């Protein structure tokens, strides 16, 4: 992994992308459009618009690709450059963090309520989730913190100092969206773990984190404890319908699946099958083999991000790649685990594949950051 001692002037900018990463990103995203069409066709037909979800996803994906390529053309080190006055100078990473705090605070007061939670801000025709913006803000901020003083993370106090900055953001997100708060917390801890040369104290941190989550579930809103009960009693609990139908889909797919478009559970049995539960439809239509190939595609994607991280020109570029990979890995693991009832239900989309606007745009922006790092790797 690159150290902080590398000088910026030794880096030569290249116009060549990591084409394997670009190919995997494009391939998984287009596969997602195909599965959204399959999983959402029945629901969309109810509104006499069978291509409704596909059109919206393609529109978002098109904007996402433009955003990805635009960001990839920028010098990623602009995020560590000072942009304010000499006395109280701030970097773009600081601005991103402050913006996330402001948006997460605003959503508690002016957010659009959906399923009992305020997670969306609507400004005219535009609607977005601040929690998605908070994920990329966390990646930028922690990358900057590591860039400024990586050695501080070799001590427990140094780690706590970084987490002290992240906790306000995590707490604000957890107020209405525990699953996203867990992801931002996981990004924070995962990036600090990779940056630190001493890993021992992270075991204690992990135990403390698990304890905090348990206490929050037990003494927090009753519906979180209810989800534990659903998880433990999926066959008998009256509110276990979604998970139960998802398991039926996974089981009925067999080894090779029923065939693309042939899912039965998407016909009104699995609520919003094109969203967080889309992996269940993948299992039913493409079988265990198809689902395994999807997971393999993600593993190849992660491998390319790791390769770029290991060859990045500086520690800031390395940490940007690490943060993006940690986020994507957490979301894939949690989504698959929820669909297979390995953990209690929580609303985490499958990256690139689940239907969603804000999530898709932010992920494509993050891939732009990684591609931007790959363009500045010195060629031998």
Q: What residues does each domain of the chain span?
A: 11-374
Please give the C-alpha separations between residue 110 and each of 91, 103, 105, in angstroms, as whole numbers: 28, 10, 9
181 closest CA partner among 225, 128, 217, 150: 217
Which residues are CB-contacts of 54 (< 8 A; sequence separation ≥ 6)?
Answer: 33, 36, 37, 40, 44
CA 111 to chain CA mean position, Å: 21
pLDDT score at 84: 60
pLDDT score at 230: 86
Axis crossing angle, helix 130-148 with helix 92-110, rounded to the nearest 10: 150
Buried b (16+ CB within 10 A) or exposed e, 151-166: ebbeeeebbeebbeeb
Where helices occur in 220-277 by DSSP H, the ranges are 222-232, 241-253
What token pair was written down for 80?
């560590």
pLDDT score at 13: 44
What token pair was written down for 111?
């957010």
pLDDT score at 199: 79
pLDDT score at 12: 45
pLDDT score at 139: 96
Which residue in the block uniquely carries the two structure tokens 């409704």? 52
319 closest CA partner among 104, 149, 166: 149
pLDDT score at 346: 83
What token pair was written down for 165?
């900055």
Which residues are CB-contacts of 283 (< 8 A; sequence separation ≥ 6)?
Answer: 249, 250, 253, 257, 290, 291, 339
- Rounded CA separation 378/12 (Å): 6
Where helices occur in the chain by DSSP H, the ranges are 19-46, 52-72, 92-110, 130-148, 156-174, 178-195, 201-219, 222-232, 241-253, 278-310, 315-339, 357-374
The pTM for the full model equals: 0.90
Q: What 3-state DSSP class applies to 122?
A: strand
- Rounded CA separation 354/348 (Å): 9
pLDDT score at 6: 44
* Ordered per-residue pLDDT tens for the chain, 380 residues: 444 444 444 444 445 788 999 999 999 999 999 999 999 888 888 878 888 889 989 998 999 999 999 999 999 999 988 776 555 678 899 999 999 999 999 988 887 777 666 788 888 778 888 999 999 999 999 999 999 988 888 888 888 899 999 999 999 998 878 889 989 999 999 999 999 888 777 887 778 877 877 777 777 677 777 888 888 888 888 888 889 999 999 999 999 999 998 889 888 888 888 888 999 999 999 999 999 999 999 999 999 999 999 999 999 999 999 999 999 999 999 999 999 999 888 888 999 999 987 889 999 999 999 999 999 887 65
With 0-12 / 13-18 / 19 or more C-beta atoms within 10 angstroms meaning exposed / middle / buried, residue 1 is: middle
Question: CA 174, 235, 274 angle in degrees (round to 5)?
Answer: 55
């Amino acid at each position: 992994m690159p150290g902080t001692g590398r000088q910026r002037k030794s880096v030569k900018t290249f116009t060549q992308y990591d084409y394997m990463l670009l190919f995997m990103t494009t391939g998984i995203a287009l596969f997602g459009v195909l599965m959204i069409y399959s999983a959402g066709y029945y629901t969309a037909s109810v509104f006499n618009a069978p291509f409704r979800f596909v059109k919206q996803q393609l529109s978002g994906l098109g904007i996402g690709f433009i955003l990805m390529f635009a960001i990839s053309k920028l010098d990623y080190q602009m995020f560590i450059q000072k942009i304010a006055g000499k006395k109280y100078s701030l970097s773009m990473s600081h601005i991103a963090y402050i913006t996330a705090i402001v948006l997460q605070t605003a959503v508690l007061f002016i957010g659009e309520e959906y399923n009992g939670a305020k997670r969306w801000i609507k400004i005219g025709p535009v609607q977005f989730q601040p929690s998605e913006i908070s994920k990329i803000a966390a990646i930028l901020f922690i990358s900057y913190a590591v860039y400024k003083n990586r050695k501080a993370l070799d001590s427990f106090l140094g780690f706590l100092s970084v987490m002290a900055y992240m906790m306000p953001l995590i707490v604000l997100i957890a107020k209405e969206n525990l699953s996203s708060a867990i992801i931002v917390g996981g990004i924070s801890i995962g990036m600090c773990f990779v940056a630190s040369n001493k890993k021992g104290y992270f075991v204690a941190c992990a135990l403390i984190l698990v304890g905090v989550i348990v206490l929050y579930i037990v003494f927090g809103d009753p519906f979180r404890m209810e989800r534990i009960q659903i998880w433990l009693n999926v066959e008998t609990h009256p509110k276990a319908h979604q998970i139960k139908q998802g398991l039926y889909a996974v089981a009925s797919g067999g080894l090779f699946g029923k065939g693309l478009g042939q899912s039965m559970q998407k016909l009104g049995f699995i609520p919003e099958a094109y969203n967080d539960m889309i992996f269940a439809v993948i299992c039913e239509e493409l079988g265990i083999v198809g689902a395994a190939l999807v997971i393999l595609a993600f593993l190849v994607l992660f491998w390319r991000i790791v390769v770029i991280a290991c060859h990045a020109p500086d520690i800031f570029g390395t940490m940007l790649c690490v943060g993006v990979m940690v986020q994507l890995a957490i979301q894939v693991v949690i989504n698959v685990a929820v669909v297979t009832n390995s953990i209690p239900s929580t609303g985490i989309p499958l990256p690139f594949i689940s239907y969603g606007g804000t999530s898709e745009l932010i992920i494509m922006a993050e891939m732009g950051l990684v591609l931007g790092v790959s363009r500045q790797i010195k060629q031998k």
